Amino acid sequence: MKSFLLLMLPAFCFAQIHTNDYPVYHHPDLGVHYNIHKTVFKIWAPKASTVILRLYKNGEGGEPLRTIHMSIAQDGVWHTDVTGDIKNQYYTFQIQQDHHWMPETPDIYAFAVGVNGHRGMVVDLQETNPSGWHNDTRPPQVNFTDIIIYESHVRDLSISNNSGIKHKGKFLGIAELNTKNNNGQSTGLSHLKELGITHLHLLPSFDYNTIDESKLLMNNYNWGYDPLNFNAPEGSYSTDPYNGAVRIKEFKQMVQALHANGIRVIMDVVYNHTSGIKTPFNYTAPGYYYRHNADGSYSDGSGCSNETASERPMMRKFIIESLVYWAKEYHIDGFRFDLMGLHDQETMNQISDTLHKIDPTIFLYGEGWTGGSSPLPEEQRAIKKYTYKLHKIAAFSDDMRDALRGAHDVDSGKGFVSGNPWLKESVKFGIVAATPHPQINYSHVHYSHEPWAAEPYQTINYVSCHDDNTLVDKLRKSNWEATEEDLIKMDKLSQSIVLTSQGVVFLHSGAELLRTKQGIANSYNLPDSINEIDWSRKTKYKSVFDYYQSMIALRKNHPAFRMPTTKMIQEHLHFTDYADPSLLLYTISNHANGDSWKDILVVLNGENKDKELPLPTGKWTVAVDGVNVKEEGILQVETVLKVPAISAMVLYKN
């Protein structure tokens, strides 16, 4: 395949890209901008000798309505104004460079695209606004540490036969209220409201490549980590992938419905690589947007055959402008950066500074690692260990994840909740959200030997996500001898720790229903039968759902679990020395962060054995006893505390 590409597209072979050889265009007006009198086309094609614009009636097939030779203006930008109203016409650009014609392509900024994203569409964005869109506002948010993220996939949420949702697998499916499973329990949006999460994080929902949008009845599935057109929504999630305006409007309807129901929306963004190298990037500025090895081949820090070059001015500009576009046009409230470690810190900081000027409550976080080796020098990467240098950007804590449930790369690896006696210090590290704390012995933390978050909002605490086994599947694999009853205890203990720890909470969709993917970790292209949320589990595991819901409510009612600063955590949160490696105790004292409870005691027992321990002086009220959550109190205790096997307890004293 590679040799084929080199033969057919010689301009794709690069010795090295020297950024200084490329002009930089500074104005924020690239792309296609429509108004009723004229449409302005601007494309950065700095090495092109000719650029042709073609207008079409449809998003695929047919002869061009018009073919226009564009003019070169300044800094590598080609432009043309097409007068008259050409709304809803489709377009392509074609550039000639080094005597070779590239294939026809949309521009990298394309705001609307036809079926399968091969042509751009001239869109009147005003007309894509659902009614009432100008009144749509972001739900209230005070501190980043108040955030409870729920990570899901447009299709997973609604596709099951028992979802009760009409628009299965569509953006509109997420906008449906009052849907129910066969037993009358809420599903979809109503379920999210009932659970109490604050943010819905959607797996890639921009236009990606793998699903053939012209064959939707084949019901193919993909997570969507193969970007095609970064500024247009994915067509297969719309009711009509042929009309580029429909997916835009329906995406906005989804956001509007979520906002109206108090839930903010986070997009998973994948600027670190593209689906292959036959892309609008390479068809307009060949090679420029990608990193290469010394021999000219594409470097592959993503594990997906290529990686983009965020440090280059025009790539950095593109990423920032794309994010600003989603934040402004679609009212997106946060972004999760796939393989953020492939982006340079400078780009991430410029992203943050720009977005936070638009709205300081926009939440940014990412995977602080790469998917392979990269030519980007390690010290420039936005990897986890440098999170403290990033401006208001958080990273996933794999330290906490694996400390709780066991290592991700070893199925049999056990965690604190399944009795592993070596991970207590790592759990403590997670409890203080990877910030500096005088009572942590960092040399005993399993992955990170120093704190990497400057402030608690820079840490995402979680125990499972789409990209691996579900929580209960992982627990089952590592505890094959355990009964389902014990697995549920481990599951509840894991999330109890996440939901009482400092930092930002992240839950994998369906964990609250004990979601299983039948033991398959990497389910990125597997059928719905593996990936869908099976809503009958809400009935079967009602007690698990009730527990998650109550623990979320507990966190929301008690700001002591969501302290906004490291200083506050250092002042109020103290661990109690206890030799038992499976018993972890800490107090949060003195109405921390304005909590109504004066002193809080959290007790975590990771061993399958009941325990007894002496209590600090005074009369304590038990609010969580491992099974029940009752903030007004289950019982009162003093002197001695009995702690059930594999459980979390929360007590308080006023």
Cite the active site residues: 338, 367
Q: Which is nearer to Ca ion, 236 or 501 (CB)?
A: 236
Q: Which is nearer to Ca ion, 326 or 547 (CB)?
A: 326
Using CB under 5 A, which of the segments 204-212, 281-289, 442-450, 609-617 binds Ca ion? 204-212
In whole angstroms, how close is the CB of 330 to Ca ion at the nearest point? 17
90, 186 Cβ separation under 8 angstroms: no
Q: Which is nearer to Ca ion, 207 or 468 (CB)?
A: 207
Could you tell me the two tokens for 293?
A: 């090895």
Q: Which is nearer to Ca ion, 235 or 419 (CB)?
A: 235
In whole angstroms, how close is the CB of 281 to Ca ion at the nearest point? 16
In whole angstroms, how close is the CB of 372 to Ca ion at the nearest point? 25
In whole angstroms, how close is the CB of 205 to Ca ion at the nearest point? 10
Q: Which is nearer to Ca ion, 110 or 514 (CB)?
A: 110
Using CB under 5 A, which of the segments 163-171, 200-208, 215-223, 522-530 binds Ca ion? 200-208
In whole angstroms, how close is the CB of 357 to Ca ion at the nearest point? 31
In whole angstroms, how close is the CB of 251 to Ca ion at the nearest point? 13
Using CB under 5 A, which of the segments 153-161, 202-210, 243-251, 577-585 binds Ca ion? 202-210
The residues, any chain, with a CB within 8 Å of residue 63's CB and separated by 6 or more, are: none
Q: How many residues bind Ca ion (CB under 5 A)?
A: 2
Residues 227 to 266: which contact Ca ion by CB under 5 A? Answer: 235
For residues 571 and 588, what is the distance between their CA atoms, to the nearest angstrom?
A: 9
Q: What share of the chain is helix, strand, coil (3-state, %, to 5)?
A: 30, 20, 45
Which residue, among 177, 205, 190, 334, has the nearest Cα to 265 in the 3D structure? 334
The residues, any chain, with a CB within 8 Å of residue 230's CB and separated by 6 or more, are: 108, 206, 207, 269, 271, 318, 322
Is residue 554 within a helix (H) or strand (E), and if so which, with residue range? helix 542-557
Q: Which is nearer to Ca ion, 129 or 214 (CB)?
A: 214
Examine residue 625 and tell whether it contacts Ca ion (CB under 5 A).
Answer: no
In whole angstroms, how close is the CB of 303 to Ca ion at the nearest point? 21
179, 164 Cβ separation under 8 angstroms: yes
Could you tell me the two tokens for 115?
A: 């079926």
Burial of 303 (0-12, 13-18, 19+ CB in 10 A): exposed
Q: Which is nearer to Ca ion, 207 or 467 (CB)?
A: 207
DSSP string, 399-434: HHHHHHH--TT-TT---GGGT-TT-HHHHHHHHTTT
Q: Which is nearer to Ca ion, 224 or 286 (CB)?
A: 224
For residues 191 and 198, what is the distance between their CA atoms, to the nearest angstrom?
A: 12
Examine residue 207 and tell whether it contacts Ca ion (CB under 5 A).
Answer: yes
For residues 368 and 223, what is the distance between their CA atoms, to the nearest angstrom?
A: 20
**Closest residue to Ca ion using C-beta atoms:** 207
Using CB under 5 A, which of the segments 83-91, 207-215, 355-363, 527-535 binds Ca ion? 207-215
For residues 12 and 14, what is the distance between their CA atoms, to the nearest angstrom?
A: 6
Q: 212-246 burial, b if ≥16 CB within 10 A, otherwise e?
A: ebeebeeeebbbbbbbbbbbbbbbbbbeebbbbbb
Residues 450 to 509: which contact Ca ion by CB under 5 A? Answer: none
340, 368 Cβ separation under 8 angstroms: yes
Examine residue 226 and tell whether it contacts Ca ion (CB under 5 A).
Answer: no
In whole angstroms, how close is the CB of 437 to Ca ion at the nearest point? 45
Binding site for Ca ion (CB under 5 A): 207, 235
